[in-house]
Structure formats: structure tokens, C-alpha cells
Amino acid sequence: MKSINLPVAGGTLSAYTIKNAPLATPPALSDRPAVAGRATSPARGEGKNQRIAFAAAHVVANPLADNDPWLDTAVDWERTIAFRHYLWDLGFGVAEAMDTAQRGMGLDWSGAKELIRRSLEAAKSRPDFGAGGALIASGAGTEQIDLTGPVTIDQVIRAYEEQIETIEGMGGRIILMASRALVKAAKGPDDYARVYDRILSQVKEPVIIHWLGEMFDPALAGYWGSADHMAAMATAIDVVGAHPEKVDGVKISLLSKEKEISMRRRLAQGVKMYTGDDFNYPELIAGDEQGYSDALLGIFDAIAPAAAVALSQLADGDKGAFHETLAPTVPLSRHIFKAPTRFYKTGVVFLAYLNGLQDHFHMIGGQQSTRSLVHLAELFRLADEARCLRDPELATKRMKQVLAVGGVH
């Protein structure tokens, strides 16, 4: 394996050579036999310890569109849907049109609606759909609302209702996303309760409520009516407790295992906790004597093969192997999601590019520019340590191409 000169802090270069072979990829779901009437899932296995695992999937931009990338959205639909099939083949559910897909950060409701429609059609085209495979749930939000003027609670309710009606009309399952408009309109916890009570009373099927922290989106600071996360949590728990039959689970993204565990233990019986903690996911998924978290994670987009292997090991009861497989991915994930955390999507897409899952390193909104060459170089090193470079020769070649644009030869 040839060495590559990678930039390091201080403006110097350091020679680096790939050290690790890629982790063996599990066989595709389509190549595995059906078990008890449903497809065997490499990401979930068949053991008593299996977990539900959604990967929040990114979108692939179209770099050949003649547009203004900071202002216009151009999606490569073929590659975007192919990436969903890649995740389904590994046994993951797809969490569609979430913040990983630059929802509200480049992808507006019109684009999200098209993405959801195409992804649902792709899921339904698969032979494993409805038989334990091709799980998909889609984000419903409120970004139709113009936040430059006053916002009312009634507007927030109507915006949620519009998106939910659209997704349900396509036959989709709902992930109820946190709303920037609700933060602006709400005067306190009672307004959050009013909105969620109204929405939950109307949904056709149980939803996943997504509490996205301000580290992912600064506009969501003070969600649930309090800047104190524990006080906010009390409001969220009351909302869920009032409608447990309408809530499949809660995805919490606060990057605090202590807060997630605290909330997990207080949820109404039968309501799942879906970890959104890209810093502490192995420990939270493994769980303790009082419970565990299922998963809805952006990092699973980037480390899908490793996560599929680990979840299968956990399902088979081998916690040691589960932790051994995932442990090297944690430094990689923490690097990708380092502050400013909202720029994590750049690292996710960069790794997809290195791994040959798309042909370019361009993003909606030009967000490939949100991380430095030094950051991307360290991501390359950590991906090698995690055995997440599935073709080291290709990854090295593509890393060199990106560096060359920055003047590193």
C-alpha cells in the first residue's frame, strides 16, 4: 500500500500508510434465507438480543447541475436511492429526510417530499418489504413556515398536519421532527404539550418523536420550553405518557448517555428509546440490567458494515465481540460529530465518497466546505483504524484527489 502525505495541525504534512484491512462486509439481505416468514437481517440477527436499527441516510447531490449550489437544491436521485438499497441490504431501516439528509439545512419541504416519495417507492419494490426488511420511517416537520415574521402555535400545528397527511397518504411511517417554528412560537412547556397532544391524537400509526439538541441545530435551543435539559425532559415524558399508544419511541440526540438513560428509564411501558447519541452508541445499545436503546443514528450511514456486524454479534449474545467491533468506530464518530456538530454531514458524505458509494465529494448547499483538509485527513486515519475503508486503494486515490484541490501533492 502506497503512503500518502496527510496534512496535520500546524500546516505540515505527515506520511501515512493504510494499516488495516477492511472489515468483512456481511452478505446482502437478498442473499440470505428467509427465517420464520421474514428475511434474516445482518444488522439485527435472529437472537433474543436483536435491536431495531435505523440509519439516518444522506442525500447525494448532483454536481453536474447548472445551478447556484448555495441557493438551489439538485439531487442525484439514482445514487441517493441506490444508497438506501445499500443500507437495506445490510439490514438497516432507513430514517428518511432527517437532518442527515440536510433537512432544513439545504433540503426544503418540497425536496424532502420528493425524497420521501421516491424512497417509499423503492422500499415497497423490494421483496423483503413488510417481511422484516426494508424498514423506512420519514421525517415530518414544519419548515414551510417563514421564520422571518411572527409565528403562531396554530401555524405550527397546520404545518405538521400538512406534512403528516402527505407522508401518511404515501403509506409512510412518521418520525415527528423537532420544529424551529415551535421554538419561536412557544411561550413555555404548555405550548409544546398543546402541539404534540393535537398531533399525536390524529396520527394513524405510532410515531417516533425526535428530540434534536441544540448542538445539532442551534435554532432548537430551549426545546420543550426550557433551556434545562432535565426540565425539558419532564415535559417530553408527560407528552409521551399522555399518548403512549401513539408513540413507538423517542429518539434523543443530546450527546449525553446519562440523560438518555435517565429518560429511557422513565418512558411509559412499551415506548422504545432510539439512541441518537453518536458519541456513546455502543454502551447505550448494549444496555444494562434495566434496559437498552434501539438505534436511529447518523453515524450508521457512515459505518454501516461495521455496525451490521456488531449488531448481529449482539443478537447472537456475544457482547464482547459487539464492543470489540464497534469500539474503533467511536473515535471516528466523535471526530465526525465534533463541534460545530451541525457540520457532521460533511464527514458522512466524505466517507461515502472515499468508499465508492458516490462518485464525487459535493453536497447540497456547498457544505463540503464546512470542514478543513486537516479534519478530513484525520477522518481518513480514523476510518482506517475503524476498518471502515472498504477499498483502501480507492480510498487512498480519492483522498489524494481531494488533497490536490487544496494544493497538497
Burial class (CB in 10 A: 0-12, 13-18, 19+), 168: middle
Rounded CA gap, 409 and 403, in Å? 7
Find the length of the chain: 409
The answer as to whether 298 is a domain residue is yes
Mean pLDDT for the chain overall: 93
CA–CA distances in Å: residue 185 to residues 148, 193, 236, 293: 12, 13, 17, 32
Q: Which three cell numbers stand for residue 107?
A: 433540503
Contact 113, 107 (CB under 8 A): no
The answer as to whether 377 is a domain residue is no
Q: Which residues of the chain have pLDDT under 50?
A: 29-40, 45
Position 185 scores a pLDDT of 98
The angle at the Cα of 390, spanning 389 to 391, to the nearest 5 degrees, equals 95
Position 31 scores a pLDDT of 47
The answer as to whether 361 is a domain residue is no
The answer as to whether 400 is a domain residue is no
Rounded CA gap, 389 and 343, in Å? 21
The answer as to whether 393 is a domain residue is no
In total, how many domains does the chain have? 1
- Dihedral pair phi/psi, residue 6, rounded to 5°: -110, 140
Q: Which three cell numbers stand for residue 392?
A: 483502501
Cis amide linkage into residue 340, ω under 30° from 0: yes
The answer as to whether 73 is a domain residue is yes
247-253 and 93-96 strand pairing? unpaired
The answer as to whether 180 is a domain residue is yes
CATH number at residue 162: 3.20.20.70
The answer as to whether 14 is a domain residue is no
Q: Which domain holds residue 176?
A: 43-327
